Structure 1
Amino acid sequence: MADNNSLIGGGVSSLPFTDRVIIVQILVIIFLFINFLLIMTFFQKECFYTSTRYILFAITLFSDSLILFVTNILLILTYLEFTLQVWVCMILSASMILFNIVTPVTLTAMTLERYVAICMPLRHAELCSTCSTMHCILIIHGLSSVPCIVILSTAFATASLSFYTEPMLCSVETFMLYRWQDYVRSAIQEFYFMIMVIIIIFAYVKIMKVAKAAIIFAYVKIMKVAKAASGEDKKSSWKGLRTVILHGFQLLLCLIQLWTPFIEAAAFQIDFMLFIDFRYSNYVLFSLTPRCLSPLIYGLRDETFFHALKTFAFFGSYKINIQKT
């Protein structure tokens, strides 16, 4: 069994990772600052916190921010070789497991919202009301808590009471004492991976059909008014399709992160330094990178949110300048 006590999501203790840790700190600070601006912008207008897609967007921002904060704290503690008692580590790890699942599940829900908006526009107001969104959030966190509960239950079933007070460098692998626990963890993650991929593909195919139908309708109609109306439908459909594609790419990175522990375990069996490089790369590519795509999808591509963001970021001066021009 590998020495799990020396491992963590971003690095390994007693090794010269000064440059890498500094790079991670810079990236985390930038992402947290951007997320803070977006979260504050979310509360500036009623249209944001009463709209399903913006509410779900805010959930991903909160989730991503918590993940970045907790993983970065654990990275620094490991780099400083600061040990924690196992029960404290389990609490921190539980939050990481939970919110690592919350983000991809929320992205899947956002994809379904786009599917309803494009393919079922007449039922969008009914299915995506504020009340339904609150229920959806409860379902998201309920589904996301299942892997956390299962993984912690296997730890409680196998560890002795004295184990929880032992000081160790914190990582999820610390309380994965037996190989079968890894198999259980793998099975749950693969199941979630399969379900979310199926939903993404389903939404993509359906929206693609609507987009193609809108294009055909635009060329068939001769009347100018009909062309204008169909043009708006085509624009909305293709915008929804591009959003789903971005969601799919972001979700893919998040889902790959669920597989990285098994890739790292294989690398560990081959070469220790190879394992170190894999773990650092995985943290940057599949943990940090997906967290910067949410601001891109809604913070920059969405015109309403982007204007509100600029107004908030420049303390209202942007809005004043627009009015003067």
Structure 2
Amino acid sequence: IYDLILILEVQVLVVIFLCINMLLIVTFFKKESFYTTARYILFAVTLLSDSFILFMSDILLILSYFRFTMQIGLCIVIYIPLSLYTFVTPVTLTAMTLERYVAICMPLRHGELCSTRSALNSILIIHGLSSVPCIVVLSIFFASVSHNLYTQYRICSMDIFVFLRWQDHIKLAVYQCYFLIMSVTIIFSYIGIMKVAKAASGENKKSSWKGLRTVILHAFQLLLCLIQLWCPFIETAIFQINLMLYNNVRFFNYITFNLAPRCLSPLIYGLRDEHFFLALKYYVPFGYYCVKTMCHDLP
């Protein structure tokens, strides 16, 4: 009964976050200035990535609760996009932080470096970088198992592709490498923006400090996303100790490090951003609250 209540609570949270994300995605495509601006394009990538992860991970959670098994070959097909988009969000957050750094610390080159074309190229680079961990894990898996394993039926989870301890070590090393690179990027951007914020005055100072707060929120969101990458290792260790504790920790990790960081994206750019929030109020069903004199620039 307790597990069922937790599952139902998770369903409510997932539905709420998915509805919010869908509203923001619709708003993004309604206004041309959003899908021709680099930071909003990257924001839309995080929304789509987060929505996909929320939906697919929730499906796997439900299947796991009901002990539903599937062929490992089918599980591999599910694992590939899940693994890819698990990394797409933190890598995109890092790119968004760099965009804020360029906008504040190199304003004269912002239009050149952060054009629409650059944003589209960045999406390709982000997906390329995000695919590396998946390729590493699956390459080791394919080289280590026999072909008849693919037709076996098991509960699909993201940790069934690691059989040996040395595989675990390689996977953790790749994750830590990504964590280090993204952390250094966030810290570098934070220091650069902080220097500009202290030296600026008037409107520039206000803009710089707002950018600094955005970087801090990105850092916090990125930290939660990266902790999520370590959760399988923690859960595997706890599983060997106590099954009830394992279930509780698994639900805690899912809500704290899977759901929580994916509700911060709407907060950072969907609600804190004045232009996006104005458009959101105009286009969603409660748009009549938007004063027409404030929304005259919206189509």
Q: TM-score range by the shorter chain?
A: over 0.9
Counterpart contact for 1:112–1:203, Cα < 8 Å: yes
Percent identity of paired positions between Structure 1 and Structure 2:
62
Instruction: Identify which of 176, 181, 188 aligns with 1:202.
Output: 188
Distance 1:233 1:170, change over 3 A: same
Distance 1:316 1:243 in 2: 26
Deviations 1:278-325 (A, max 9, x none): 11100100000000000000111001000100111136423455569x
Match of 2:278 in 1: 307
Tell me what 1:62 maps to: 48
Q: Aligned residue for 1:227?
A: none
Question: How many aligned positions are there?
Answer: 295
Q: Does 1:169 align with 2:140?
A: no
Cα shift readout 1:76-135 (whole Å, capped 9, x = no counterpart): 111222111001111111211111100000000000000000000000000001111111
Matching of residue 257 in structure 1 with residue 243 in structure 2: no
Checking the alignment, whether the CA contact within 8 Å between 2:28 and 2:35 is kept in structure 1 is yes
Does 1:143 pair with 2:114? no
User: In structure 2, what is the Cα distance between the partners aligned to 1:206 and 1:182?
Assistant: 36
| Correspondence list, 1:51-130, <5 A | 51-130=37-116
Q: Distance in 1 between matches of 2:101 and 2:159?
A: 38
Give the distance between the partners of 1:100 and 1:121, measured in 2 at CA: 31
- Which residue of 1 is the match for residue 166 of structure 2? 180
Code of the aligned partner of 2:149: F
Q: Which amino acid aligns with 1:306?
A: F
Q: Which of 1, 7, 20 is 1:34 aligned to?
A: 20
Letter in structure 2 aligned against 1:83: T
Q: Give every structure 1 segment of 4 or more consecutive aligned residues whose post-TM-superposition deviation is greater than 4 Å.
A: 320-324
1:38-80 per-residue CA deviation (whole Å, 9 max, x = no partner) reads 0000011111000000000000000000000100111111122
1:46 and 2:32 equivalent?
Answer: yes
Cα distance in 2, alignment partners of residues 129 and 34 from structure 1: 27
2:56 alignment partner AA: V
More off after superposition, 245-254 vs 173-182 = 173-182
Query: SS where residue 156 of structure 2 aligns?
Result: coil
CA distance in structure 1 between the partners assigned to 2:146 and 2:236 by the alignment: 25
Query: For residues 254-285 of structure 1, what are the alpha-carbon distances to aligned partners after superposition, in whole Å with 9 as ceiling and x for unaligned?
Result: 01111112222222233222222111100100
Structure 1 regions of 5+ residues with no counterpart? 1-14, 215-229
Please give the alpha-carbon distance, in whole angstroms, between the structure 2 residues aligned to 1:118 and 1:26.
39
CA distance, structure 2, for counterparts of residue 316 and residue 270 of structure 1:
53
Alignment partner, residue 235 of structure 1: 206
The runs of 5 or more residues in structure 2 that have no matched partner are none
Distance 2:291 2:43 in 1: 27
Single out whichever of 164-173 and 111-120 deviates more from structure 2: 164-173
CA distance in 1, matches of 2:77, 2:140: 15
Once structures 1 and 2 are overlaid, which stretch shifts more, 148-157 or 268-277?
268-277
Secondary structure at the residue paired with 2:30? coil
Residue type of the alignment partner of 1:175: F
Conserved? CA contact 1:90–1:172, under 8 Å: no
Give the equivalent residue in structure 2 for 1:20: 6
Q: TM-score, normalised by structure 1?
A: 0.88
Contact 2:159 2:232 survives alignment (8 Å)? no
Q: How large is the Cα RMSD of the aligned pairs?
A: 1.5
For 1:55 and 1:44, how far apart are their aligned partners in 2? 13
Tell me, yes or no, if structure 1 residue 153 matches structure 2 residue 139: yes
